[in-house]
Copies of this chain bind each other. A is one copy, B any other.
C-alpha cells in the first residue's frame, strides 16, 4: 500500500491477521472488552487497507496512552438513549469513539430508512477513527449522511481561526456520504483545518515534511515541519475563511448545542433516505454520468487523473483486502514493544 507521506524510513509488510491479533491483545491487556477491542481493530485495519494510514493501526499508541492516563475508560460501552425531548443520542460512557459511532450510524440509518430523515448525537466518547467509514456505511445503505464534529477546544487547541495567529480550535471534521455511481459511494471526509491532526502526527512519526500552507509556527510564520506545530504552532484553516466558517458552525453544534464536551468531541449526524426523492437505480445512472465525466477530465499539471471523492479509498480496500499492510518499520517495532510491555505473548516471527 502507498502512503500519503514522503517516506524517509524503511517499511515492513505485516500480515493482517498478525497485526489484528497483536493490536487486539494490546487492547484486551488494557482491559478493553473483547467485542469493543475487535470493533476498534477492524476499524483501524480497514483504514490502513483504505490507504488512510493516518487513521490506521499506529493509532494504538495514542489509544494506549489514553487508556493508561485515564483519559478514556477501557470499560466504556456505548449506549443508545433518548433525552427528555425525545432526541436520540449515543452516550459513549467515556470509552473509545469507534463503537459509539458504529452504533450511532447504524441507528440513524435505520431510522432514516423508516421515516425518511433522522438525527443522532454522539456524546461522551473518545477518538472516532476514520470518519469516512461511517459516511460510507450510510451511503452504502442508500442514505445521505452529514456528520459534524467539534467541541472540546479547551483540550484540543490545534487550529488558528482565519485571520488569527493563535491555535484556539480543534480540527472540527465533517463527513458527507451519499450513494454514487457504479464504483460505490461518494464520500467527502475532511478536517476543516488545512490538515487533519492525524496527518501532522503521521508526518512526525514517518519523519516527513508537510506541504506548504498547512502549518504556522508559534510566531505565525509558515512552516512545513511537523515539529513546529508541536512547539506551540497552529494548523491553518482549510480554504481560509471557508474552513474556518465550517469550523465555527461545528463548534456551535458540538459544544453550544450538544455540550459540554466530556471527552474529545461531540458529534451530530443527520441522515436522509435518498429514495424519498429518487429511485436508487435512477440515482445511480445519473450519478455515474456525472462521475464518469469527472474521471475523464484532462488532468492538471502534477496530477495523473481526476479522482472521485471516496473512490480512492474504496478501490484501495478492494486491492488491499487480502494483502499485508505496509507500516514504517519503526511503527511496527513500537507496536511490538508496546505489546511486550503489556505482557502480550507475540507470535513466532
Contact = CB atoms under 8 A, between A and B. Distances in A.
Contact of A290 (B146, B165, B256): B256
A219 B180 CA distance: 30
B299 A164 contact: yes
A57 B186 CA distance: 37
Contacts of A220: 300-301
Interface stretch (A20-28, A241-249, A341-349): A241-249
B245 A190 contact: yes
Contacts of A100: none
A106 to B, nearest CB: 18
Nearest to A180: B252
B299 A146 contact: no
A162 interface: yes
Interface string A258-279: 1110000000101010111110
Nearest to A190: B242
Given A161-B306, A248-B188, A144 B286 contact: no
A12 interface: no
- Of the candidates A119, A164, A216, A246, the one having the most CB atoms from chain B within 10 angstroms of its own CB is A164
Contacts of A190: 241-242, 245
Contacts of A283: 256-257
Interface string A290-310: 110110011111010111111
A163 B239 contact: no
Given A258-B277, A270-B270, A164 B286 contact: no
A300 B236 CA distance: 11
B246 A176 contact: yes
A243 B239 contact: yes
B297 A161 contact: yes
Interface string A72-103: 00000000000101110100000000000000
A118 interface: yes
A238 interface: yes
State the majority secondary structure of interface residues on A: mixed
A163 B306 contact: yes
Contacts of A287: 252, 256
Given A256-B278, A286-B259, A306-B162, A270 B186 contact: no
A338 interface: no
A44 interface: no
Contacts of A180: 252
Nearest to A274: B257
Contacts of A176: 245-246, 249
Contact of A252 (B116, B242, B290, B306): B290
Contacts of A272: 119, 268, 270
Given A187-B245, A188-B245, 8 more contacts: A164-B294, A164-B300, A166-B298, A168-B297, A178-B256, A190-B241, A252-B290, A270-B272
Interface of A: 83, 85-87, 89, 116-119, 121, 144, 146, 153, 160-166, 168-169, 176, 178-180, 186-190, 194, 216, 220, 238-239, 241-246, 248-249, 251-253, 255-260, 268, 270, 272, 274-278, 283-284, 286-287, 290-291, 293-294, 297-301, 303, 305-310
